[in-house]
């Protein structure tokens, strides 16, 4: 009888160890896929937020705080223009470095980031103007 109890305890202990090992593997796999999928979820979340903001009625900054709203609008517009210019300069710098055999990847990557952030700022400027933001997919 004592032998059967010991066997059952050993089987239960082995099952608990296997369950703990499998649980840690599942946890690590889930964390890996969650980290990999986070940018997708972030883009979807920003898209949903911008979709709701674009369908809002009227401009975000009304004429009540005229001077401040104009400063913010013009600041957004200037920031978008500067970012697009920095993107163009970064692309030209990366091309020059590629032609001369130097490191060029970081300049082009920075230029792409400048273009991307400039686009985001331009979208916020459109929303600040009270205009709907639409993407034309009819190529």
Q: What b-and-e string marks burial along 101-131, b requiring 16 or more CB atoms within 10 Å of the CB?
A: eeebeebbebbeebbebbeebbbbbbbbeee
Render each residue's pLDDT in the chain as its tens digit; 139 residues: 577 778 888 888 888 888 888 888 888 887 777 777 777 777 777 776 666 555 555 555 555 545 667 777 777 788 888 888 888 998 999 999 989 988 888 888 989 998 888 888 888 878 877 777 777 677 6
pTM of the model: 0.45
- Token pair of 38 as six digits: 């986070």
Domain locations along the chain: 1-55, 60-139
Contact 73, 127 (CB under 8 A): no
């Amino acid at each position: 009888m004592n032998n059967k109890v010991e066997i059952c305890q050993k089987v239960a202990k082995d099952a608990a160890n296997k369950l703990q090992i499998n649980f840690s593997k599942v946890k690590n796999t889930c964390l890996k896929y969650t980290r990999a999928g986070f940018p997708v979820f972030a883009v979807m979340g920003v898209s949903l937020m911008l979709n709701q903001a674009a369908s809002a009625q009227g401009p975000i900054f009304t004429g009540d705080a005229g001077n401040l709203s104009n400063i913010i609008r013009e600041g957004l517009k200037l920031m978008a223009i500067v970012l697009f210019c920095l993107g163009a300069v970064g692309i030209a710098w990366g091309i020059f470095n590629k032609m001369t055999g130097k490191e060029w990847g970081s300049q082009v990557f920075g230029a792409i980031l400048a273009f991307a952030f400039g686009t985001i700022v331009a979208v916020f400027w459109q929303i600040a103007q009270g205009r709907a933001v639409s993407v034309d997919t009819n190529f």
